[in-house]
Amino acid sequence: MPFTLPRGLGPLRLLIVFCLVASVFFFRSYLLPASDASHFNLAPAANSWWHGPNSGYSDLSDVDTEQDYAQAEDLGLISEITDFEDPAVPSPASSTPEATHKPAAAPGLFYKPFDASMPACRQLPGADKVVIIVKTGATEVFARLPEQLITLAECVPNLMIFSDMEQDLGHFHLYDALDEIGEEYRKHHEDFEFYHNIHRAHAMHGDVSVLGSEKGWNLDKWKNIPMLHKAYTKYPNADWYMTIDADTYLGWTNLLLLLSQLNPEEPLYSGCVYWHGPTQFAQGGTGYLLSRKAVENLEAIRTPEKIVEWEKETSTICCGDVMLGVAMGQAGVPVRGAWPMFQVDPPCALSWTDRYWCTPAITWHHVHTYDIQDLWEFEKTWINQTWNDDKPGSVPYLYKDAFEYFVQPNIAQKKSDWNNYSGDKTFTEPSEDHVKEDNDWDWKNDDEKQQLWDDLNEIQKQSTESFEACQTACMDDGGCLQFAWHPGTCKLNYSVRMGHAIEPKEEYSSGWILERVEAFKQGQGTCEQARFEID
């Protein structure tokens, strides 16, 4: 005998031992790159659940795990995973011979309770049930999209980015939202001249970002309905479809918490509600949310005749979000308000009033790339610090929390070269060479301006002379929380806004009455209950 077996080791046990040894061998030789093995102690096993049968990734195994997510996403592999709660349960496919080569079925190595090799935000419950649709345009792709891709895309298993041109950005794929628009419009409507121009420029490796954003805007309105249809076609089993623009920050943690309280079987179309003529619609940039049922209702009326009708109406209507409002109305799904969870300002421009305070923050529109980065760091820290293995991501962050992070540490009695957007009251003496005040004051006629000035009391008139005098005028006005001064003008405001740094040559300084800000904050209470409210 070449070697002796321990006593009692039957053929079955021998087979098991053999399999164990063989799988350890397999694991080492195929999955751990020879160098830097330590880096991969967890990653391969954890990554495996999205690698799927088509595991062409072993060559790439020395790229960042984060990039891996993105690549997997591009290939649509992640969308196949539906059992987020317990991915360790082998799927039926894993018993086929081919599938046994997947480094998959290693129960216990998976990311429950918490897998440090994967972003925490990607492990939040319900993440795989949501499709995030990002609408952008070819001219802004390089300016706006990369920041979304290095932040939000890390969290979202089902992300689709729509533009007016099919394009790759790194390993992300951008879909052309307009390729199925009826020929009548695609070939002949003036909005589509721009479409063909950018396609031509792109084919010639040209810079499409210089091709005029205004024309891009006209084209933009054609996207909303087709985008939704394409997202539904790709992910028909998702529960939720959420659309944002490239300059919208999406609070992923809070969105999932909101969704966990709603029923996707009920029709829901929700966002920041505006009117356009007789149409009520959810504004696009602040983001809108649709339940599966709502999308199904829309799909149900989407006949070829209806598509023709929608395209005809799109050709004359102002905007794509309004057009979706029209279509949703026809599908029998009225829009419902999600303000202020969905709202229009970045942290620096928001007025932190009591209406916001105890509400979870879900969207921030008009964000710059640096705003996205800041909000992202805030959210990541939040997830980390409130993590609970039994209930990951169960603690929403409220505007109050964002105030404590973004505003409170950064306001002061005096900040030079800073504009805090004060403007409830503007004290200024009209003159020939008056600079713009960037508020209502500019729109008044000369007599009104003079009247305003004449009606001021002495403290208010003096307030235009120095920062300190402006501060005094704010102190003198019981409701004033902040003020801004530049030579000749003092402005007061009754709510807190952060504002931003400006160039010294503008000679702007801002200040806050810190005790009053603190009193405002105390007056709001402790927010026992997060206000997840849809009207």
Ligand X SMILES: *[C@@H]1O[C@H](CO)[C@@H](O)[C@H](O)[C@H]1NC(C)=O
User: Which residues lie near ligand X (CB under 6 A)?
Assistant: 114, 116, 120, 351, 384, 387, 419, 421, 423-424, 438-439, 493-495, 497, 502
Q: Which residue, 281 or 508, is less far from ligand X as judged by CB?
A: 508
Least distance to ligand X, CB of residue 194, Å = 29
Taking the C-alpha atoms of residue 52 and residue 40, their distance in angstroms, rounded to an integer, is 19
Least distance to ligand X, CB of residue 423, Å = 3
Taking the C-alpha atoms of residue 119 and residue 13, their distance in angstroms, rounded to an integer, is 39
- Residue 46 CB contacts under 8 Å (≥ 6 apart), including other chains: 65, 109, 110, 111, 115, 117, 118
Q: Which residue, 299 or 437, is less far from ligand X as judged by CB?
A: 437
Which helix (H) or strand (E) covers residue 14, if one does?
helix 11-26
Q: Which residue, 297 or 493, is less far from ligand X as judged by CB?
A: 493
Strand 167-169 versus strand 288-291 pairing type: unpaired
Inter-residue contact 345 to 332 (CB < 8 Å):
no
Least distance to ligand X, CB of residue 464, Å = 16
Q: Which residue, 296 or 417, is less far from ligand X as judged by CB?
A: 417
Residue-wise DSSP of 283-330: -STT-EEEEHHHHHHHHHH--HHHHHHHHHHHHHSS-HHHHHHHHHHH
Least distance to ligand X, CB of residue 380, Å = 8
Least distance to ligand X, CB of residue 417, Å = 10
Least distance to ligand X, CB of residue 418, Å = 9
Which two structure tokens, joined as six digits, stand for 453? 């000035």
Which two structure tokens, joined as six digits, stand for 33? 């790159």
| DSSP state, residue 140 | G
Q: Which residue, 104 or 156, is less far from ligand X as judged by CB?
A: 156
Which residues pair with residue 68 across a beta bridge?
A: none
User: N- to C-terminal Cα distance for the chain?
Assistant: 80
Q: Which residue, 288 or 520, is less far from ligand X as judged by CB?
A: 520
Least distance to ligand X, CB of residue 510, Å = 10
Q: Quick check: helix, strand or coil at residue 408?
A: helix
Q: Which residue, 104 or 492, is less far from ligand X as judged by CB?
A: 492
Least distance to ligand X, CB of residue 508, Å = 7
Q: Which residue, 120 or 177, is less far from ligand X as judged by CB?
A: 120
Identify the CA nearest to 166 among candidates 181, 177, 176.
176
Burial annotation 135-151 (CB, 10 A radius, 16+ → b, else e): bbbbbbbeebbbbbbbb
Identify the CA nearest to 428 among candidates 477, 470, 492, 490.
490
| DSSP state, residue 380 | H
Residue number of the CB atom closest to ligand X: 423
Q: Is the dihedral of CA 394, 396, 401, 405 positive or negative?
A: positive
Inter-residue contact 215 to 196 (CB < 8 Å):
no
Least distance to ligand X, CB of residue 181, Å = 37
- Give the total residue count for the chain: 535
Q: Which residue, 67 or 384, is less far from ligand X as judged by CB?
A: 384
Q: Which residue, 306 or 444, is less far from ligand X as judged by CB?
A: 444
Q: Which residue, 102 or 497, is less far from ligand X as judged by CB?
A: 497
Burial annotation 504-532 (CB, 10 A radius, 16+ → b, else e): eeeebbbbbbeebbeebbeebeebeebbb
Least distance to ligand X, CB of residue 364, Å = 16
Q: Which residue, 235 or 508, is less far from ligand X as judged by CB?
A: 508
Burial annotation 254-283 (CB, 10 A radius, 16+ → b, else e): bbbbbbeebebeebbbbbbbbebeebbbbb
Inter-residue contact 174 to 163 (CB < 8 Å):
yes
